[in-house]
Amino acid sequence: MRTLLLSLMIAATTAVAADTHWLEQVSPIITPAERKTYLALPVTDRSHFEDNFWTGRPISAVEYFSRLSYVDNTFGSGRLGSGANTDQGRVYLTLGAPVKITRLPSSRIFVPIDIWYYDSVPALNLDTELRLIFYQKNNNGFPRLYSPALDTIRGLLLPQASVLGMFGPNDNITESSTRQQLNVGPAEDEVVTASVGVASGIKYSGNDEILGRVVSPATLLSRSQRTDVKSRLILFHPELVVIQSSSVYGATQVDMRCDVQAAHELNIEVFEGMTPVYENHLHLDFSAPQSLRYTHRLDLLPGVYRVLLTADRRTSAQEIRIPEHASLSQIFRVDPSPLSENRHTPFEFEGKRLDLNPDGRLAFVSLAQPGNVTWIVRRGVAVVLRNVVSANEFATFDLASAGLPPGAYRMEAITETDSRTAPLVIKSDARPDDAATAVSFNANLAPSLRYAFVGRQWLLRGQLDLARRSLQASIRSGTTAEASVELARIDALSGQLDTARSRLRKILAVQPDNFQALSVYAFVEARLQDYPVAAQLYQRALSIQDSPALRLALEKLPVQ
């Protein structure tokens, strides 16, 4: 009997502890009425309440607990609920990860600042870009959420004589008036735009109404939503088509295609979490927006990435997941296309270039490893065609020569370890998909540059040995300044300062304005405690390209 009572006491204690833990987890979003109802329930009935708690909410339990863990460990102390006690933690819990973050850790005018960007906030019917500034007053304490109405630009300025009294408490502060009084650089200019309003078309009290809701998980993650904040702008959501395939460069080969309209600029940025992995900026020279088919190839390590595509200042965010182990791709329709002479291009496989086309004459899959692929075409349950091919990187099936009459079919691609299926529609009047002007970025596809890019990714992850291996492969494929600079960076991080300095001197002898080489060289000289030389190198680098990180490093050098 004593053992039975002890077991019941342990079970009851465990149940109460589990219930208390669940309440602590959902405390940012549970209402007082819901909490009261939950605590009044018998312990045995509470699991049913916990399951139904998420019904009708704009967030799933899995996503909520994932955000909660992230904010506790990133913005809090790691203890449960600590992240939700900070402005950044509450916003992240409410809205999730921003599509873009601009950081200004130091400035001659502004206090340390982060700007978070969101494409939209559907719960507020806000269909334009949301800009949230977090600023750190006096360089300490938790970052605070900035209010354009209450703080104004004065709250973001450093307390120094050159700006004191520049803006009065009753001044009508606009973006143009701010620029007239403050001489801002490129990095600081973004702060000015974000300081006057959280979104285009939102003014006065509308700013604080939005801020009040995004900082309140209980409001935006509740079952009932009010949608009365409006904007005139339209969201930008082009489709990003991705083919992943195996690569000899130590990462997954990723071919991307996106149809957009642009006249002046076409930019791509890739982030892993908050870490920028890659960016490229194309300047266009059209008198009016054109329909463009943009293609790009990158080699990415396993992980989850956000791809930001900007066309004439309109930005879309897409997610790409690269698995640890490559697998058979989905089935695509493609058309053969002429190769460009003397250069590699995206969507080029084994010396053949392929254009994606929903009515293309070929069916296509990329392979994780060489082997046989069995193609099967079904109409209903009946097998209409079967063909087995031997392939290395990819396999195709010529639909045009198969003699299939127009109609709806089902296509399968089968290997020894995997299979894919896809609907197949044969049209009587299928035509080439050539409505858009092709824009292909091919400058990063030389083997030496691809090895160097993979090496840089390993370096960002702190895997110095793997980074060095890829960079040395890059050097063997063809010496490049990019790989040499990154090898020097690894040498410096590994304490081999003399080796790093020797590499950098050779690069700068040929390219005296190489920003990356100057930056790493300055770091090396600072480690060697030659602070005057380090300061000169930082200043040379900053004269080529502005960098908040370099300005901060320069400010932290000991005064000689």
Predicted confidence (pLDDT) per residue in 62-78, tens digit: 999 999 999 999 998 88
Taking the C-alpha atoms of residue 96 and residue 118, their distance in angstroms, rounded to an integer, is 9
Residue 92 has pLDDT above 90, yes or no: yes
| Cα dihedral 481, 482, 488, 491 in deg (nearest 10) | -140
Mean pLDDT in residue range 495-519: 93
At 193-208, the pLDDT tens digits run: 888 888 876 776 678 8
Cα–Cα distance measured from residue 472 to residue 486, given in angstroms and rounded to the nearest whole number: 10
Tell me the pLDDT of the chain averaged across its residues.
84
Q: Quick one: tokens of 131?
A: 């800009």
Neighbours of 454 (CB within 10 A): 25
pLDDT of residue 11: 39
C-alpha to C-alpha distance for 542 and 526, rounded to whole angstroms = 16
Domains of the chain, CATH where assigned: 2-53 (no CATH), 87-220 (no CATH), 240-440 (no CATH), 447-556 (1.25.40.10)
Mean pLDDT, rounded, for 272-283: 83
The answer to whether residue 477 scores a pLDDT higher than 80 is yes
Ramachandran region of residue 189, left (φ > 0), alpha (ψ -120 to 50) or beta? alpha
User: Is residue 146 over pLDDT 80?
Assistant: yes
In the structure, what pLDDT confidence band is assigned to residue 253 with cuts at 50, 70 and 90? very high
**CA distances in angstroms from 234 to 220, 316, 342, listed in the order given:** 22, 12, 41
